[in-house]
Amino acid sequence: MKRRTRVVAYTAVVVALIFSVGSVLLYNATPKPKRLLEPVAVDFGTSSADFRRSMSLIFEQPIVAGNRIAMLEDGEAIYADKLDAIDAAEVSITFETFEFWGEKGAGPFVDALVAAAERGVAVHALIDYYGSVDAEADKFERMLDAGVEVIRWRKPSWYQLARFNHRTHRKLLVVDGRTGFIGGANVTDSWLPDEDGQAYRDHHFRVEGPVVGNMQAAFVDTWLDASGRLLLGEAYFPELEEQGELDAQMVTSTPREGRHRMRKMLMVGIATAEQRISLGSAYFYPDAEFLEALIEARERGVEVNILVPGDSIDKGFVRHASVNRWRPMLEAGVAIHEYQPSMYHAKLVSIDDRWASIGSTNLDNRSFRINNEGNLNVYDEDFSRRIRELIEADIRHAERYDLERWESRPWRKRLAGWISMLAGAHF
């Protein structure tokens, strides 16, 4: 009788553990609902005042005038500009990134942040735990010892296990509340040339002007979630004067209901396109409705160019799953190009040479519904044209993926794609 009671008790414990672990895994692997369940239908385009007004109101983010944006290309130039800004910091530094590791990549940033803290600058670093698991522990210890406030976002703990998969994928740096950086580049050795001269291809941007306050607010909101502390005052939010002529809008996205804005934002942009859509993304695995929106744009005569990595992609399973779904787009005339020299990691959008979006968002369901993301939208013809030209310059080093190539794919690649597709929206 006692033995039977023990067996029942042990069984109940095992079942409870399986249920608990299974629930955590299921919650982490299931993205938030898409909410927008069909392509957007509008009766205006990017040339209409309705476009700008709608983009401001539906995303509850102001469009701010008077900004200047400098373009930075590839890791060496991106890191050098960021490090110069950190070295010149006087009162505050806020830093948020996904990947952070490596002696060549992260090492100089650790040195610069430590030096800033030691000279009295308030330094706050929000670094994703998963993206920094390869970083040596002494890097974090050095920063903490110097007075840098470091938080590893979603570091495993029993009360956060259900949210472990909700990463921060943003790449934000704001110095003295006056100079901001945003774009696609993380902080690792992968963005710097290796022994063969190979490095990730990427674009990043230095921002000055009033919209930097909105970029700071994006960091402060996530810092509040992570620490329970609110950063306020002139050290973080100084009065900012106009520095240029660009109208810009900071848009953020989180997995919270009503806060995953990126997919909706891009689908509105696609629906309002009148002439051309130019997209660059490290990972291209959106949902069926997003793909249908691109096809509908092509059917109404809009030129659509998409640039993605080729064989050099660091997550081949995503590529195979994505390619399996390309046939309808290829048949509709969507031009898909695979970058050849190295891993293409940029996240660039230009529509009609009127609207551009730059930041951390990939064209996949992780960015749309699982990660914390941040993009800067720019409402300016010259800037949008320059973003399109960045994409087109990289297309010159890419191969166009046509329907004949799609049909002749080996079965092993198709099978790899089908297997990967089982994860569905988790990508």
Average pLDDT over residues 206-217: 98
Residue 366 structure tokens: 């992780």
Between the ranges 108-117, 128-137, 308-317, where is the mean pLDDT highest?
108-117
Residue 416 structure tokens: 């790899």
Which residues have C-beta within 8 Å of that of residue 106, sequence separation ≥ 6? 100, 135, 139, 187, 188
Share of the chain above pLDDT 90, in %: 74
Do strands 246-253 and 64-73 pair parallel, antiparallel, or not at all (unpaired)? Answer: antiparallel
**How is the chain split into domains, by residue range?**
1-30, 35-60+249-426, 64-244
d(CA 230, CA 217): 10
d(CA 278, CA 44): 19
Would you state the pLDDT for residue 25? 43
Looking at 32-46, 190-204, 409-423, which range is the least confident one?
Answer: 32-46
Kindly state the greatest CA–CA separation across the chain: 83
d(CA 368, CA 253): 8
More confident call, 151 vs 24: 151
**Collapsed DSSP state (helix, strand, coil) of residue 400:** strand
Under a CB-based contact definition with an 8 Å cutoff, are residues 307 and 397 in contact?
Answer: no
What is the tens place of the pLDDT at every residue in 364-408?
988 888 889 999 999 999 999 999 999 999 999 999 999 999 999
Q: How far is CA 360 from CA 48, 96, 187, 330, 367, in A?
A: 27, 11, 13, 26, 8
d(CA 278, CA 384): 10
Strand (E) or helix (H) holding 12: helix 2-29
- Mark out the alpha helices in 97-210 (DSSP H runs): 107-118, 137-146
Residue in this structure with the two tokens 């952070």, named with its chain if needed: 100
Average pLDDT over residues 330-356: 97
Q: What is the pTM of this model?
A: 0.90
Average pLDDT over residues 173-202: 97
Would you state the pLDDT for residue 160? 59
What is the tens place of the pLDDT at every residue in 70-102?
999 999 999 999 999 999 999 999 999 999 999
d(CA 279, CA 358): 10
Would you state the pLDDT for residue 41? 84
- Mark out the alpha helices in 334-410 (DSSP H runs): 365-369, 381-395, 403-407
Domains 35-60+249-426 and 64-244 share a fold: yes
pLDDT tops 90 at residue 23: no
Strand (E) or helix (H) holding 318: helix 316-323
What is the tens place of the pLDDT at every residue in 408-417?
988 888 888 8
Strand (E) or helix (H) holding 93: strand 92-97
Residue 99 structure tokens: 């990947």
pLDDT tops 70 at residue 162: no
Would you state the pLDDT for residue 24? 44
Pick the CATH number of 64-244 from 1.20.810.10, 3.30.870.10, 3.40.50.970, 1.10.3720.10: 3.30.870.10
State phi, psi for 86 to the nearest 5 degrees.
Answer: -60, -45
**Collapsed DSSP state (helix, strand, coil) of residue 56:** helix
Would you state the pLDDT for residue 408? 92
Under a CB-based contact definition with an 8 Å cutoff, are residues 172 and 252 in contact?
Answer: no
d(CA 141, CA 368): 34
Residue in this structure with the two tokens 């990730």, named with its chain if needed: 200
Q: How far is CA 58 from the centre of its chain?
A: 21
Under a CB-based contact definition with an 8 Å cutoff, are residues 356 and 165 in contact?
Answer: no
Under a CB-based contact definition with an 8 Å cutoff, are residues 44 and 50 in contact?
Answer: yes
Residue in this structure with the two tokens 């983010």, named with its chain if needed: 61
d(CA 251, CA 287): 21
State phi, psi for 204 to the nearest 5 degrees.
Answer: -140, 170
Q: Which of 201, 183, 204, 206 shows the shortest CA–CA distance to 394?
A: 201
- CATH code of the domain occupying 35-60+249-426: 3.30.870.10
